Amino acid sequence: MKTIQICSLLLVALRLLAWAETQTLEGYLVDQKCMSYYLEQPDKIQGHSRACVLACGRESGYGVTTADQNFILDAEGRKLAQTWLETSSKEKDLRVKVTVVHEDGKSRVVKIE
């Protein structure tokens, strides 16, 4: 009987460890090079151009700036951001929704729209 209880507890513990949380961030897609400027001048981020984000982001990477946080995109997120920027018709006001999965202490971007 104790063996069954211990096995049940172990199964519950393993499920909790494997649990993943999904989060949706809504904010502006920005290159990391310009991100610090927009931290100090948040009212100007709507005017940040797609051309600047593409040019600077290829070297520095990308992030999403929301009202209360800055989130740096992982390698997969960078690819998704690059594709979004290359196919978007928007020249400024680069608002996006980013879906992030938090699992095993790591965050990975799975979608940008």
Is 12 in contact with 5 (CB distance < 8 Å)?
no
Nearest to 21 by CA among 104, 90, 95, 94: 104
Q: Give buried/exposed letters for 26-57 (b at 16+ CB in 10 A, else e).
A: ebbbbbbbbbeebeeeeeebeebebebbbebb
pLDDT tens-digit profile of 58-108?
A: 999 999 999 888 999 999 999 999 999 999 999 999 999 999 999 988 889
pLDDT tens-digit profile of 3-34?
A: 665 645 444 444 545 567 999 999 999 999 99
- What are the domain boundaries of the chain? 20-112
pLDDT at residue 56 above 50? yes
SS3 state of residue 45: helix
Is 29 in contact with 49 (CB distance < 8 Å)?
no
Give the separation between CA 79 and CA 109, rounded to whole angstroms: 10
pLDDT value at residue 11: 47
